[in-house]
Amino acid sequence: MKVENGKVVTMHYTLKNDAGDVIDSSEGKEPMPFLQGHGNIIPGLETALEGSTVGDKLDVSVEPEEAYGLRLQDAIQEIPSSALQGVDNLTIGMQLQSQDEEGHPFVVTVTKIEDETITVDANHPLAGEILHFAVSIESIRDAQEEEISHGHVH
């Protein structure tokens, strides 16, 4: 059986940034499950894993455009600190829930704190990064109909 659209795959992975720092890893945990072909994992990794089989080990480098996108200057905003007066112990790196004009929630990260203004960044923390994955395919099975209709693994 191969990794293809409609298969539930589990993988062990280690993710490093371009500087070689480990950002995330499944080591010591259960392998991570995902439904291939449904955007459960970043597009560049999904493409690279297509057609692989159990036991395959792959090293995959993914450009930002195929990962978490480019870092957008427009996504960085200064807001008056009075707007966040209800937030206790505001610290750099803290993530806050915000809403766009249509009421959709999104997450911003606090990147700068000054007396009058606070800078928040709505870019994904890994936006603009080239990502390096070491992956091993642990299992592959057919997805159930319900999993396909939901677009995720049960």
Beta carbons of 14 and 25 less than 8 angstroms apart: yes
Q: Does 57 bind Zn ion (CB under 5 A)?
A: no
Which residue's Cβ lies closest to Zn ion? Answer: 150
End-to-end CA distance of the chain: 20
Q: From CA 108, how far away is CA 96, in angstroms rounded?
A: 5
Where does this chain touch Zn ion (CB under 5 A) — which range of 33-41, 50-58, 125-133, 144-152? 144-152
Cβ–Cβ contacts within 10 Å for residue 48, how many? Answer: 20
Dihedral (CA of 62, 67, 73, 78) sign = negative
Q: Return the closest-CA partner of residue 18 out of 109, 135, 121, 126.
A: 126
Kindly state the tokens that stand for 67: 């990962």
Q: From CA 23, how far away is CA 5, in angstroms rounded?
A: 27
Where does this chain touch Zn ion (CB under 5 A) — which range of 6-14, 64-72, 129-137, 143-151? 143-151
- Residue 148: DSSP 8-state: H
Q: Does 150 bind Zn ion (CB under 5 A)?
A: yes
Q: Does 151 bind Zn ion (CB under 5 A)?
A: no
CB of 145 to Zn ion, least distance (A): 11
Q: Does 112 bind Zn ion (CB under 5 A)?
A: no
Where does this chain touch Zn ion (CB under 5 A) — which range of 44-52, 59-67, 137-145, 146-154? 146-154
Where does this chain touch Zn ion (CB under 5 A) — which range of 29-37, 48-56, 59-67, 145-153? 145-153
CB of 54 to Zn ion, least distance (A): 24
Total chain residues near Zn ion (CB under 5 A): 1
User: Residues interacting with Zn ion, by CB under 5 A?
Assistant: 150
